[in-house]
A and B are shown apart, each in its own frame.
Chain A
Amino acid sequence: MRDCKFYLSTNSNISFNDLVNENKNRVYNTAISFVQNPEDAEDLTQEVFIEVYNSLSKFKEQSSLSTWIYKITVNKSLDFLRKKKRQKRFGFLSSLFYEDSSEIKHDQPHFDHPGILLENKEKARYLFAAIDTLPENQKTAFILFNIEELSQKEIAQIMNTSPKAVESLIQRAKQGLRLKLALRRAQDDNF
């Protein structure tokens, strides 16, 4: 495919190659924090840019390009997790029909985010396992704030809500994580 240029309404233009290179790490980093699997995150990153490629002409510039790309990434990641959850729920039935059910990717035993410092790896495993159990909107706010390090205002634009609501979501996510981690710790102590 030859690289092509997209003309934005601010009279600026950007080549698709530049757009991918400028945004690929933030898309991948967000996706891997949601799906907690490098291969799935890579697939999702490709999906995000294909959608960007197909709908960039519809981009209205009411928000910045990066906010718009984040929105697509979050939506695709949440869709992926919903599908995976559905698939897991009915997985037992498909295993009755298919001997080779290797298509179904069950949970990994644990997830190591590639950017975590070595000394924090074990603790981060507990954190990501707990993040995985949060409700969608709390998970989104927490990941964008703590892992992507976006401001509450930027997160509010991505989530189509107010900065105040984002602050509340982050607080509730932290409370939820504290509770889940306390339970996990108690379980580990019992064994």
Chain B
Amino acid sequence: MEQNNWINEVLESTKGMQKAEASPFLFEKISNRIQTGKTASPVKTNNIKWVFVLVAAVILIVNIIAISNYSNSENKNSNETELVSALGSELGYNSNYNY
């Protein structure tokens, strides 16, 4: 009951309110902005946009480097295995020796 009364009072707290008044120099400020051509939105998102482009680019580059390193090491490993096995058979060692 008490909570309901409080909620009703909060919902009616705008009753009797006056209108907020804009600056008396608004026209001069608008004229100035029209003359200088400055109509950018008050929220500046450009910097944040570039931060995300930068972060995405860094992630992409790191991924490309990691994938390229991985495939290089795979090639290197298979080359080394082939070389060792060729050398082994040349010297008469059997790599499939059963202990």
Count A-B pairs with CB separation below 8 Å. 131
A103 touches B47 (CB 8 A): yes
Output the least CB separation between B65 and chain A (Å): 22
Known: A47-B39, A123-B13. A25 touches B19 (CB 8 A): yes
What is the predominant secondary structure among interface residues of chain B facing chain A? helix
- For B52, what are the chain A residues with a Cβ–Cβ distance below 8 Å? 90, 93
Say whether A24 contacts B33, CB under 8 Å.
Answer: no
Interface check B45, CB cutoff 8 A: yes
Q: Is B95 an interface residue (CB 8 A)?
A: no
Q: Which residues of A contact B34 (CB under 8 A)?
A: 1, 50, 53
Question: When each residue 1-23 of chain B gets 1 if its CB lies under 8 Å from chain A and 0 otherwise, what string results?
Answer: 00100110111011111111111
Nearest to B17 among chain A residues (CB) is: A115
The answer, among B14, B22, B32, B44, for a CB contact under 8 Å with A45, is: B22
Q: Does A70 make an interface contact (CB < 8 A)?
A: no
Q: Is the CB of A1 within 8 A of B26?
A: no
Return the chain B residue nearest A19 by Cβ: B27
CB neighbours (8 Å) of B16 from chain A are 117, 120
How many residues of A are in contact with the other chain, CB < 8 A?
58
What residue of chain B has the Cβ atom nearest to residue A28's Cβ? Answer: B22
Check B9 against A53 for contact (C-beta < 8 Å). no
- How many interface residues does chain B have, given as a range? 35 or more
Q: Judge whether A116 and B30 touch: CB under 8 Å.
A: no
Please, could you name 11 A-B residue pairs with CB atoms under 8 Å apart, sorted by A? A45-B22, A46-B29, A84-B43, A86-B45, A91-B48, A103-B47, A113-B20, A115-B20, A120-B15, A120-B17, A185-B7
Q: Is A63 interfacial (CB 8 A cutoff)? A: no
The docked-state distance in angstroms from the alpha carbon of A146 to that of B45 is: 32
Interface membership of A97, Cβ < 8 A? yes
Is B13 a contact partner of A17 (Cβ separation < 8 A)? Answer: no
| Chain A CB within 10 A, most for which of B18, B21, B26, B55 | B26
Which B residues, 46 to 94, have Cβ-Cβ distances below 8 Å to chain A? Answer: 47-48, 51-52, 54-55
The chain A residue sitting closest to B47, CB to CB, is A94
B22 engages A93 (CB within 8 Å): no
